[in-house]
Amino acid sequence: MQRRQFLHVLSTSALAVPILTACGGGGNSSSESGEPSVSRADLQQTSSGLSFQHGVASGDPLDDRVILWTRVSPTSPQESELSVICEVAEDREFQNVVMSEMLSTSAARDYTVKLDATGLRPDRHYWYRFMSSEATSAVGHTRTLPMPGQYAERLRFAVCSCSSYPHGYFSVYRMIANRPDLDFVLHLGDYIYEYGDGEYGNNPGRPLEPSHEIIALDDYRRRYGLYRQDTELQAAHAAHAFVTVWDDHESANDAYRDGAENHNAGEGAWSDRKAAAIQAYFEWMPIRPPTEDEQQIYRGFSYGDLADFMMLDTRLEGREQQLSNPLDPSRSQPRNLLGQSQKQWFKHQLATSQGRWKFVGQQVMFAQLQLLELQRLLPAVPTNDFSPLVAINMDQWDGYPAEREEILDFVEAEEIENLVVLTGDIHSSWANELYQNPAVLTAGVLNRPLGVEFVAPSITSPGFPDGAAELVSAVLPVVNPHIKYTDLKNHGFILIDVTRQRSQAEYYYAADIDTPAGIGVESQKIKTLAVAHGSHRLQEDTPVSRPKPLL
């Protein structure tokens, strides 16, 4: 089907297209005025005996609005609703306050507070804070985006994922907080992990709360509470707006629509656990629900005319259970990863995108990985070192190749240009060119790529062990020539710098995550790769970009 035919079908169908628009229900407050409606005198009407122990956050920015978040901590459990004020200003000193709203919360939402601050001006910096009669929160900074279709020269954002609390200190979040010129941060999942103490990571300075594996709603809330008291994570949220999607560990390892590898007998119904995980996520994350029932996270947004973003859910929305064996004959059969509704929405977004660049934010690696051949070439690497990668491989798009082929066929047929896939999950750095069948490259056939993929390293979660990481990285391109870069053990983030001429990924790494002394210290290692407008081929070791001027 050609682009015009496809668009005609979409225009005559009742296709729901979720975008990051305001949503009134579900405990979120929304203001349309853009004018202060609450005075300082009204502080006396707010609740007393409160503190703001979990910092502040903003998220899901658009050209005229952004979600603002905090949590209040009462000195004792309260049955009644608690009230606070949120102020938004155009300056750090709050001399020009543009919004002041009275907000309420209660134990029903774990005392979390969200404001969909609307009526803001496009492409502007804002500062915000929350106040009660006796306490004031930290000040957060956020910014709105250029209007859809508005000319935009440059975009600069961070991509990160996978922060296992007991594996080390969140040095990478501090590195992100130290970049004041970022427009926003994309967090691609595994924001928290469900395991108990000693089950996954054992840094003695990072005990978990609660100490057991989290299963019930109160468990998930307490785990988010632990994370959100971390100083480095608080700093990153206070500095930048986040756009987030969940992966599996926000619920349980290798989760899919109807279950999870780490949901076992004696842990109750999966539907109850999944519902608890989803509820806690929407309470604690600065996300605007695309639907009123707060069950769905796939959504899109635009940065002027420069870039369109499609944020996917490859985990809970439509995924069928993973296969355990890459040689399973059913692997080649059609199997759902996105689910039909989300897949149709994704195709619609791709086909109708007007942005110069098309970014897809999602959880698991899209590019093919020829893993069995890799094991044959590395007999010295213990099988146990490969076994986690085998499991990951079946959890990725490699476990659902027919659906990936369908997406790539669509991209090729519709002549979609400048496609950049952004990925987390795998605790390591990858840069890939996207082909229908990269195996033909080993025979010297030079097919044109259909896009590129940048996979972010982890915040703290472990990759390959020393020695094996270097061996595997050296041999990967031999049987996977579309994979242009890997780092399988270092922790960090990707800085994506976008101009009208090229999109560039810059991989920055932490020097140390094991001790507090290393927090925020960057490694000397930097890797850059870029794709030129209209090319889809990766260029390595391009010049490091300059920071954006601060307004």
Question: Is 547 part of any domain?
Answer: no
Question: Is 90 part of any domain?
Answer: yes
Write down which residue in 144, 160, 187 finishes a domain: 144
Write down which residue in 86, 120, 144 finishes a domain: 144
Sign of the torsion formed by the C-alpha atoms of 349, 351, 355 and 356: positive
In this structure, the answer to whether residues 210 and 229 fall within a common structural domain is yes
CB-CB neighbours of 204 under 10 Å: 6
170-184: per-residue pLDDT in tens? 999 999 999 999 999
Give me the pLDDT at residue 14, please. Answer: 35
Name the average pLDDT for the chain. Answer: 89
Question: Is 86 part of any domain?
Answer: yes
In this structure, the answer to whether residues 96 and 160 fall within a common structural domain is no
- Residue 102 sits in a domain whose CATH number is 2.60.40.380
Task: Measure the CA–CA gap between 113 and 227, rounded to whole angstroms.
Answer: 17
Give me the pLDDT at residue 442, please. Answer: 59
What are the strands of the beta sheet with 492-499, ordered from one edge? 29-31, 112-117, 66-71, 56-59, 241-244, 184-187, 154-160, 492-499, 502-510, 522-532, 538-540
73-89: per-residue pLDDT in tens? 998 877 789 999 999 99
Write down which residue in 144, 176, 191 finishes a domain: 144
Extended strands (E) in 407-501: 419-423, 429-434, 451-455, 483-487, 492-499
Q: What share of the chain is helix, strand, coil (3-state, %, to 5)?
A: 25, 25, 50
Q: Which helix (H) or strand (E) holds 387?
A: helix 383-395
Give me the pLDDT at residue 390, please. Answer: 59
pTM of the entire structure? 0.92
Asked whether the predicted pLDDT for residue 378 surpasses 80, the reply is no
Question: Is 64 part of any domain?
Answer: yes
Give me the pLDDT at residue 13, please. Answer: 38
209-227: per-residue pLDDT in tens? 999 999 999 999 999 999 9
Give me the pLDDT at residue 93, please. Answer: 96
Give me the pLDDT at residue 121, please. Answer: 98
Question: Is 521 part of any domain?
Answer: yes
In this structure, the answer to whether residues 313 and 410 fall within a common structural domain is yes
In this structure, the answer to whether residues 117 and 161 fall within a common structural domain is no
Asked whether the predicted pLDDT for residue 465 surpasses 70, the reply is yes
Question: Is 548 part of any domain?
Answer: no
User: For residue 167, what are its two tokens?
Assistant: 């594996």
Question: Is 315 part of any domain?
Answer: yes
Point out which residues pair with 56 in neighbouring strands. Answer: 70
Contact (CB, 8 A) for 193 and 164: yes
In this structure, the answer to whether residues 41 and 109 fall within a common structural domain is yes
Residue 430, phi-psi category: left (phi > 0), alpha (psi -120 to 50), beta (remainder): beta
Asked whether the predicted pLDDT for residue 456 surpasses 90, the reply is yes
Question: Is 42 part of any domain?
Answer: yes
In this structure, the answer to whether residues 105 and 206 fall within a common structural domain is no
Asked whether the predicted pLDDT for residue 537 surpasses 70, the reply is yes
Asked whether the predicted pLDDT for residue 10 surpasses 60, the reply is no
Give me the pLDDT at residue 138, please. Answer: 98
Find the mean pLDDT for residues 129-140.
95
18-41: per-residue pLDDT in tens? 433 333 333 445 555 455 666 667
3-state secondary structure of 76: coil
Q: Which domain holds residue 33?
A: 23-144
Looking at the structure of the chain, the number of domains it has is 2
11 — pLDDT class (breaks 50, 70, 90) = very low
42 — pLDDT class (breaks 50, 70, 90) = confident
Give me the pLDDT at residue 23, please. Answer: 31
Q: What is the percent of the chain where pLDDT is above 70?
A: 87
Give me the pLDDT at residue 447, please. Answer: 81
Least confident of 77-81, 202-206, 243-247, 314-318: 77-81
- Residue 427 sits in a domain whose CATH number is 3.60.21.70
Find the mean pLDDT for residues 245-269.
97
In this structure, the answer to whether residues 192 and 103 fall within a common structural domain is no
pLDDT: which is higher, 65 or 327 = 65
Q: Which residues contact 313 (CB under 8 A, 6 or more apart)?
A: 245, 246, 296, 297, 298, 338, 342, 363
Q: What is the DSSP letter of 136?
A: B
pLDDT: which is higher, 120 or 75 = 120
12 — pLDDT class (breaks 50, 70, 90) = very low
Give me the pLDDT at residue 466, please. Answer: 84
382-434: per-residue pLDDT in tens? 656 555 555 568 899 999 999 999 999 999 999 999 999 999 999 999 999 99
Give me the pLDDT at residue 64, please. Answer: 98
276-307: per-residue pLDDT in tens? 999 999 999 999 988 888 889 999 999 999 99
In this structure, the answer to whether residues 131 and 153 fall within a common structural domain is no
Find the mean pLDDT for residues 480-500.
96
Least confident of 96-100, 130-134, 225-229, 462-466: 462-466
User: For residue 101, what are its two tokens?
Assistant: 């709203």
Contact (CB, 8 A) for 81 and 111: no
Find the mean pLDDT for residues 256-283.
97
In this structure, the answer to whether residues 120 and 183 fall within a common structural domain is no
In this structure, the answer to whether residues 39 and 156 fall within a common structural domain is no
Give me the pLDDT at residue 332, please. Answer: 79
In this structure, the answer to whether residues 122 and 204 fall within a common structural domain is no
Give me the pLDDT at residue 389, please. Answer: 57
* Phi, psi for 188 (deg, rounded to 5): -100, 25
Q: What is the percent of the chain where pLDDT is above 90?
A: 75
In this structure, the answer to whether residues 184 and 246 fall within a common structural domain is yes
Q: What is the DSSP letter of 93?
A: T
